[in-house]
Amino acid sequence: MDYWSSTARISRRGVIAAALLSSCVRKPQPPVLSTIPPFTFTDQTGAEFRSEKLRGVPWVASFFFANCTSHCPRLNTALFQLQERTNRIHIVSFTVDPANDTSEVLSQLARRYKADVTRWHLLTGPQESLSRISESFFAGKLSMEHTMHYLLVDADMRFRVRHRLEEGPEPLLKDIENIYGTA
C-alpha cells in the first residue's frame, strides 16, 4: 500500500470518527425558569385533576378562555396540531375565566378541538388557584388576559421554555427532542 492510499484511509476514518463523536455531543438543555407547585383543578370531564398525574411526563401549558374570539381559537388549533404530531407530551390548558368556563363549557371546547382527553386536560377552578399557577409561568397575575405562548414543563415539573404561537410548533418540538431524545 502506498503512502497516499494509507493517508486517505486514515483521513476517512478520522472524518467518520469526528462525525460519530459530534452526534454524541448533547445540546445544552434549556434553563429551568421556575418550578410548578402542586395543584388540583377540575378537568373538562368534571373530574378532579391533580398535578401528580403529570409527574414523569413532559407537558405543554397554555392559558385561554372559552369565549375568546381573537387569540385562543388559533392557540387551541395549534395545540390540536401539536397533539397530532407527538404523543410524547400532555397538554394542559388553564382557563383565565373560571366564572364562565365550567367543566361543561370546557367539555364542549374539548370536543370542538378534538382533544384526546387522556393527554389534553382543560382545567378550571378557583380564580385564586388559577392566578397562583399563572404566577409560576409569568411575573404577574392573569385575569382575563391570556397569552399566545406554548409553555414547556419537563417531567420533573420544571418550567423550561416559552415559545410564541407565531413561531409554530417546530421550536417546541425541537426542545422536546433536545430534552427527551425524540418528539
What local confidence, expressed as pLDDT, does residue 18 receive? 52
Tally helices (H) and strands (E) across the chain.
Answer: 5, 8
Q: What is the pTM of this model?
A: 0.80
Return d(Cα 125, Cα 138) in angstroms, integer: 19
Torsion sign, CA atoms 165, 180, 110, 44: negative
- Give tens-digit pLDDT for 142-183: 554 567 888 999 999 999 988 888 888 888 888 888 877 765
Domain membership of residue 58 (yes or no) is yes
Average confidence (pLDDT) over 104-127: 95
**Can you give the residue range of the structural domain that contains 105?**
34-180
Is residue 13 domain-resident? no
Whether 95 is covered by a domain: the verdict is yes
Residue 131: pLDDT band with limits 50, 70, 90 = confident
Structural domain contains residue 17: no
For residue 56, give the CATH number of its domain.
Answer: 3.40.30.10
Name the band, by pLDDT with cuts 50, 70 and 90, for residue 2: low
More confident residue, 115 or 137: 115
Structural domain includes residue 144: yes
Highest mean pLDDT out of 32-36, 119-123, 143-147: 119-123
Least confident of 21-25, 63-67, 80-84, 163-167: 21-25
Would 28 be classed as within a structural domain? no
Confidence label for 91 from pLDDT (cuts 50, 70 and 90): very high
Query: What does the pLDDT read at residue 180?
Result: 76
pLDDT at 65 over 60: yes
Category of 7 on φ-ψ map: left (φ > 0), alpha (ψ -120 to 50) or beta: alpha
Write down the pLDDT at residue 4. Answer: 47
| pLDDT given at position 1 | 57
Q: How many domains does the chain have?
A: 1
Mean predicted lDDT score pLDDT of the chain: 83
Confirm whether 22 is domain-assigned. no
Residue 174 lies in a domain: yes
pLDDT: is 137 or 5 the higher one? 137
The Cα–Cα gap between 163 and 152 comes to 8
